[in-house]
């Protein structure tokens, strides 16, 4: 599908919008609908869309496998370390109120990092599954 | 949606089944928007209609695109699913009306969630990330495990010489 002019142009227009919307959903999740899971899926969908148009090889140059695999593990580690940070600062595990001098601000900070962790893992896993399935067909199209 | 389900059940061409299930997911997302569950609708549209359609198509490339004829008549599964749905509909009559403020579920923890001390405007985010932080951590670990399982299953085959051990 690399030679399809319409797909290439539409993709070039849409993919930045998709990725930007994913970031919006991620960081605006406190106020509007959305959050880490949705943002991660959207970012992965944008990258998968890119790879549908430009092929898996080009996508792997931009988002290589080691980045994706690191993302899979890093998200869980971010989430878990937010909990550990709560213990180190004198609270319970995953107690965000101690993360800042103001409990409400601490809650916001905790939710922010937890959502980042969820988004990173979800995006990584989606991409990894897609890479694995798409690369099994032998010849790359 | 009923039309989509009917078509999925009776189509033998797997490609159209995949596309129809994407259609079903989009319809489901609109239903969820109508129920004011925008977070879930977003997930349904992105995962159900977007990513899983692409994943199923990628999987379809590895196998035949026509479904094999079933080996036996599906009367027993049909009876099980019909009786289960009759039971569920019967049970749903006993539920309080949709959006009823007097429903038992709105009497216990929900007031605390709505006037929460987390002070996040989107209650769904507050519940997911703060009140139910352990659950969400567990979910993230589940997603991680799924990814790790896929890596463990599919990568080993790649070490085999081309397409010798991989034919399944």
Averaged pLDDT, A14-31: 85
- Shortest Cα–Cα distance, B121 to chain A (Å): 5
**Band of pLDDT at residue B121, cut at 50, 70 and 90:** confident
**Residue written as tokens 């993709």?**
A11
Does B133 sit within 8 Å of A94, measured CB to CB? yes
Q: Is B83's Cβ below 8 Å from some Cβ in A? A: no
Distance CA B68, CA B13 (A): 10
The partner residue sitting opposite B154, judged by closest CB among A30, A136, A138, is: A136
Domain spans of chain A? 5-137
Which chain B residue's Cα is nearest to A107?
B118
Which chain A residue's Cα is nearest to B42?
A38
Which of A79, A59, A81 has the alpha carbon at shortest distance from B141? A79
Which chain A residue's Cα is nearest to B61?
A137
Distance CA B113, CA A98 (A): 20
Q: Is residue B77 part of a domain?
A: no
Q: Is residue B11 part of a domain?
A: yes
Which of A94, A89, A105 has the alpha carbon at shortest distance from B137? A94
Distance CA B133, CA B76 (A): 42
Q: Is residue B78 part of a domain?
A: no
Q: Is residue B34 part of a domain?
A: yes
Domain count, chain B: 1
Does B144 sit within 8 Å of A75, measured CB to CB? yes
Give the DSSP letter of residue B102. Answer: T
**pLDDT at residue B84 in the model:** 95
Per-residue pLDDT tens over the stretch A76-135: 898 888 888 888 887 778 777 777 777 777 888 888 888 888 899 999 998 988 888 888
Give the DSSP letter of residue A97. Answer: G
**pLDDT at residue B123 in the model:** 74
Domain limits for position B60: 1-67
B 116-135 → A contacts, CB under 8 A: 117-122, 124-126, 128-130, 133-134
């Amino acid at each position: 599908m690399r030679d399809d002019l319409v797909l290439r142009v539409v993709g070039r227009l849409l993919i930045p919008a998709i990725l930007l919307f994913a970031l919006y959903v991620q960081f605006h999740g406190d106020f509007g609908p959305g959050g880490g899971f949705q943002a991660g899926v959207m970012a992965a969908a944008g990258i998968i869309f890119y790879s549908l148009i430009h092929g898996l090889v080009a996508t792997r140059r931009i988002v290589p496998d080691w980045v994706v695999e690191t993302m899979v593990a890093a998200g869980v580690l971010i989430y878990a370390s937010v909990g550990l940070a709560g213990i180190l600062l004198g609270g319970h595990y995953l107690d965000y109120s101690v993360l800042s001098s103001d409990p409400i601000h601490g809650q916001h900070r905790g939710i922010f990092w937890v959502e980042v962790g969820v988004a990173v893992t979800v995006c990584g896993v989606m991409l990894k599954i897609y890479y694995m399935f798409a690369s099994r067909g032998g010849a790359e199209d | 949606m009923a039309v989509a389900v009917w078509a999925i059940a009776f189509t033998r061409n797997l490609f159209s089944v995949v596309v129809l299930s994407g259609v079903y997911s989009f319809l489901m997302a609109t239903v969820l928007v109508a129920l004011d569950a925008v977070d879930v609708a977003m997930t349904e549209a992105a995962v159900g209609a977007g990513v899983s359609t692409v994943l199923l198509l990628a999987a379809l490339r590895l196998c035949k695109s026509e479904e094999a004829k079933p080996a036996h008549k599906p009367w027993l599964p049909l009876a099980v699913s019909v009786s289960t749905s009759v039971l569920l509909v019967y049970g749903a009559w006993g539920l309080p009306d949709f959006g009823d403020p007097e429903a038992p579920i709105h009497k216990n923890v929900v007031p605390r969630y709505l006037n929460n001390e987390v002070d996040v405007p989107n209650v769904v985010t507050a519940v997911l990330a703060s009140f139910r932080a352990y659950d969400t951590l567990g979910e993230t670990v589940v997603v991680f495990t799924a990814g790790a399982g896929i890596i463990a299953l599919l990568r080993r085959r790649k070490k085999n010489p081309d397409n010798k051990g991989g034919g399944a």
